[in-house]
Amino acid sequence: MTKTQNLKPIIESNRKTITAMLYSADSVKRLNNINWLRHEISFSEPRILFHLSSKEQLPYLDFNNMSNIGPTYDYIVNNPNEPIDTAAILRIHQMLCRNTNIIGTMFRTSNKILEITLNDGCRLHAPSPHEIGFLLNEILYKINSNPKNVLHNAFDIHYELIALQPFDDFNKRTARLIMNWVLIQGGYRPIVFNKRGDKQDYRKAIANRANGQIKKYYEYMESCLVRTQREIISQIKKSKVL
CB-based contact 168:108 (threshold 8 Å): yes
Give the model confidence (pLDDT) of 3-40 as tens digits. Answer: 567 899 999 999 999 999 988 878 888 888 899 999 99
Give the model confidence (pLDDT) of 92-130 as tens digits. Answer: 999 999 988 888 989 999 988 777 766 666 778 899 999
- pLDDT value of position 202: 95
Task: Fold for 24-104+123-237, please state it.
Answer: Fic-like fold (1.10.3290)
Burial letters for 168-190: b for 16+ Cβ neighbours within 10 Å, e otherwise? bbbbbbbbbbbbbbbbbbbebbb
What burial class does residue 159 get, using C-beta atoms within 10 Å of its C-beta: 0-12 exposed, 13-18 middle, 19+ buried? buried
In sign, the C-alpha dihedral spanning 239, 150, 195, 65 is negative
CA angle 7, 190, 5 (to 5 degrees): 10
Residues 6+ apart with CB under 8 A from 186: 150, 151, 153, 154
- pLDDT value of position 213: 93
How many angstroms separate the CA atoms of 11 and 29, rounded? 21
Give the model confidence (pLDDT) of 42-65 as tens digits. Answer: 999 998 988 655 555 555 556 667
| pLDDT category of residue 242 using cuts at 50, 70 and 90 | very low
**DSSP 8-state secondary structure symbol assigned to residue 190:** P
Domain map of the chain by residue range?
24-104+123-237
**pLDDT beyond 70 at 167:** yes
